[in-house]
Amino acid sequence: MLTKSPTLTEPADLLADGMSLGIDIGGTFTDLVLCDAEGCCVSSLKVLTTHADPVAGIMEGVARMLAGTGTAPGEIRRVVHATTLFTNALIERKGAATALLTTEGFRDVIAIARERRYELYDLSLTPAAPLVPRDLRFEIPERVKADGTVLRALDRDALLARVGEAVAAGVTSFAVVFLHADLYPAHEAEAAALIAAHFPDVSVTTSHEIVREVREYERGTTATANAFIKPLAEGYLQRLGARLTDFGVDPSCPLLMMLSSGGLTHLDEARRVPVHLLESGPAAGALAAATLAGGEETRLLAFDMGGTTAKLCVVEDGEPDVVFGFEAARQARFIEGSGLPIRISTVHLIEIGAGGGSIAYPDPLGLLKVGPRSAGSEPGPACYGRGGSEPTVTDANLLLGYLDAKSFAGGDIPLDVSAARAAIGELAARLGLSSEAIAWGIHDVVTEAMASAARTHLAERGRDPGAFTLVCTGGGGPLHGFNLARKLGIPRIVVPANAGVASALGLLTAPPRVDRLATLALALAQTTAPELTAAFAGLEDEGLAVLARGGWDAAEIDTLRSVDAKCAGQGTHIPVALPPMPWPQEAEDLRAMVMAAFHAAYAERYGREPPQVPIELVNARITLRGRSEALTLSAGAADAGAGGGRSRSVHFGDGPPLQAALHRREHLPVGFVGAGPALVEEDGSTLVVGPGATFTVLPTGNIVVELSHV
């Protein structure tokens, strides 16, 4: 039932004569792509996400796509999946009834947090509430000191009594977070074994299995987040596997999941630690941009805009930026400290509530605002004709002339122009402006929100936007890319073929990946080669075991090692990449190697040399990464006889409308050069090329837009 990936089977062998299916669930649309053994995209499709049962939308799309291509379900040899379902469950607090079991005296750690106000002078500030309420946080008599000394053995009877109370109160999932378990996890492991033996129907998450990192608050929030979504993830993935099998997909076909870090894992690991999947959908979009841009660009700003959110990510030298933690469910979107810290490896994304379904409204001062509230897929924008009545970004883009009412989403969702006009008109009447002015205002406000986020993101990294190429993906990326690039001063845009489903394509290029971490707590001056090597060897063994269970060959795995290091007395640390092994065995030589790497990382981060103080090694990190799958990028054969000479009236600002040339993407031959204003339509998206810009079709199928005025 697709519930377990085959072991000791090379995934490449499975693909030798079969198809790969990519599935990406978003807040509004579910995107599907089908690629053959050579990496050519055979078919793609967007269907509305069915929130009551997301599997239903997936299966509807799979059935339609396979029927349209004449592909039998048994020809599918690999399924790769990303989803925002678990993130949404976390944000909306719709996970399992969860209890926290923690060391006696420490049940309020996840509520006390860092005792820091993220807005110092905001008297109505709302902190991010813990996922576990206080009455479901249970203290267990046990205590291990920071040096591993057991002050008090685990009270087994008290543990089982507390678990029994929680189960009687309806709890179905437990997070076990004991003091110093990052270094000494024996009590957590003993507690998990006891719970499994006496309460086999409940789910258990131990913090040391999720994040073996110092700081109880971060371990606590990450472990409780995993426990909160784990039953949901297990049930959903089980249903999806069963439905695919019932549909006719071979039961031995691996169902692989995208990780937040941009890599793949097998189903068993995904069900064990679903917290690592929280940013899987956005990570796929960043990976798609890096892959589909063609390899000629060294600095990319990946811009993916869907129906609910927009995401931005820096990609340099072909690799999306990866960080070791993010905040979920922020109360203030751009303010650090306003959310729940989740300590996982994740593609570094700026995400804002700006998508096609984002709702426009006047604020108390009468100013136009857009998002983050979204119409989603149910009921959707007013123009969908599914009961929505509030004005959205999609309604505005339709009235501006950017969208074709008959061919939107491949013609599967005909748009109602009159409904969009009524929704926009009502807002226009409230603000005393014309419908066209409000429509442009909605488009411009939401684009400015993305531009502001991008400026901040790049400035924090010391980067100039003008040195980047903007890669636009998602259904809304090509619609807003020209205006976004203009605002940022970016001179060049790349729009891949099938941009509307690029995240699903990105899934099929992702390599297998495992990230592992362990607390070191070592002073560099006392560190020896054997103890540092042993720490990494243990992490590598764990990672290779995970990859082996997914069927990946250890011979094709690259290993990256780093440490989190800091100056003595500092409260924060930075990641420091270490050279490949073998390392010097003499202690002085090893320390010199680490010191040189630390100085380089510190100078890169802060622009100066570190102070002359002792260095401390906080954590050891290891990344095991396999090879990426290739996509065949080709423009295909163009049907030059169709669609020439058409145009449509479109708006590019407050002035009168302009006539924009209309093109169907599949009709444009390689080397075609066009000038704006123009619209290039395909089933999943529409590229808007503004006045003064030119665009060219490359042999890869990508379209490059040059903004002459930048």
- Tell me the per-residue pLDDT of 471-508, one tens digit each, with 9 for 90 and over: 999 999 999 999 999 999 999 999 998 889 989 999 99
Reply yes or no on whether the pLDDT at 317 is more than 50: yes
In this predicted structure, the answer to whether residue 333 has a pLDDT above a threshold of 80 is: no
Helix, strand or coil, per DSSP, at residue 408 = helix
pLDDT beyond 60 at 408: yes
| Close Cβ partners of 296 (under 8 Å, ≥ 6 residues apart) | none
Burial 69-102 (b: 16+ CB within 10 A, else e): eebebebbbbbbbbbbbbbbbbeeeebbbbbbbb
**Whole-angstrom Cα distance, residue 71 to residue 635?**
23
**Does 224 score more than 50 pLDDT?**
yes
What sign does the dihedral 313-319-321-325 (CA atoms) show?
positive
Confidence (pLDDT) at 82 = 94
Residue 254 backbone dihedrals phi, psi, to 5 degrees:
-70, 135
Which residues lie closer than 8 Å to 313 by C-beta, 6 or more apart?
282, 285, 286, 289, 301, 302, 320, 321, 347, 348, 349, 350
Q: What is the mean predicted confidence (pLDDT) over 185-198?
A: 97
Whether the per-residue pLDDT at 467 is higher than 80: the answer is yes
Determine contact, residues 707/490, Cβ cutoff 8 Å. Answer: yes
pLDDT at 296: 60
Flag whether pLDDT at 6 surpasses 90. no
- Dist CA 20 CA 33 (whole Å): 8
* CATH 3.30.420.40 holds for 11-90+234-277: yes
What are the tokens at 694? 């030119």
* Residue 11: pLDDT over 50: no
pLDDT for res 545: 94
Q: What is the pLDDT of residue 635?
A: 65
Distance in angstroms (rounded) separating the CA atoms of residues 399 and 439:
7
Using CA of residue 690, residue 694, residue 700, residue 701, what is the dihedral sign? positive
> Helix 477-488 crosses helix 435-460 at what angle (to 10 degrees)?
60
Nearest Cα residue to 279 out of 265, 259, 302, 264 = 259
Quote the crossing angle between the two packed helices 216-247 and 54-69, to the nearest 10°.
40
Closest CA to 79 of 22, 36, 35: 22
- Which of 385, 493, 402 is closest to 440 using CA atoms? 402
- Segment 412-431 shows an average pLDDT of 93
Q: How confident is the model at residue 349 (pLDDT cuts 50, 70, 90)?
A: confident
Q: What share of the chain is helix, strand, coil (3-state, %, to 5)?
A: 35, 25, 40
Share of the chain above pLDDT 70, in %: 95
d(CA 290, CA 272): 29
Question: Pick the residue with more confidence: 221 or 308?
Answer: 221
The whole-angstrom separation of Cα 705 and Cα 691 is 11
Query: Residue 379, preceding bond cis, omega within 30 degrees?
Result: yes
pLDDT at 460: 83
Lowest mean pLDDT among 227-231, 482-486, 706-710: 706-710
pLDDT bracket for residue 84 (50, 70, 90)? confident
Helix axes 186-198, 156-168, angle to 10 degrees: 50
C-alpha radius of gyration, the chain, whole number = 26
State the pLDDT at residue 122.
85
Which alpha helices (H) appear in 47-130, and where do they start and end? 54-69, 85-91, 109-112
Q: What is the pLDDT of residue 625?
A: 94
pLDDT for res 201: 96
Q: How far apart are the first and last CA of the chain?
A: 54
Instruction: With H, G, I as helix, E, B as strand and everything else as coil, classify residue 60.
Output: helix
Residue given tokens 């099938």 in the structure block: 498
**What's at 315, amino acid-wise?**
V
Structure tokens, 34: 């089908």
**pLDDT at 187 exceeding the cut of 50:** yes
How much is the pLDDT for 580?
A: 94
Q: Tokens 């004569």 belong to which residue?
A: 17
Residue 274 has pLDDT above 90, yes or no: yes
Query: How far, rounded to the nearest angstrom, does the alpha carbon of residue 654 sit from its chain's CA centroid?
Result: 35
**Mean pLDDT score across all residues of the chain:** 90
Q: How confident is the model at residue 638 (pLDDT cuts 50, 70, 90)?
A: low
Question: pLDDT tens digit string along 653-695?
Answer: 878 899 999 999 989 999 999 998 999 999 889 999 999 999 9
Would you state the pLDDT for residue 563? 96
* 642 has a pLDDT exceeding 60: no
Domain regions of the chain by residue span: 11-90+234-277, 97-223, 513-625, 647-707
Is the pLDDT assigned to residue 149 strictly greater than 80?
A: yes
Question: What angle do the packed helices 529-549 and 587-606 form, to 10 degrees?
Answer: 70
Rounded Cα–Cα distance for residues 64 and 297 (Å): 36
Distances (CA, A) of 167 to 93, 161, 198, 201, 269: 19, 10, 11, 10, 26
3-state secondary structure at position 411: helix
Q: Count Cα neighbours of 660 within 13 Å in the Cβ-side half-sphere.
A: 30
- Measured CA to CA, the distance from residue 261 to residue 322 in angstroms comes to 7
Supply the pLDDT for residue 615.
96
With tokens 């040339």, the residue in question is: 661
Average pLDDT of the segment spanning 164-173 = 97
Q: What angle do CA 290, 293, 297 make, to 5 degrees?
A: 90
What pLDDT band is residue 710 in, cutting at 50, 70 and 90? very low
- Residue 1 DSSP SS3: coil
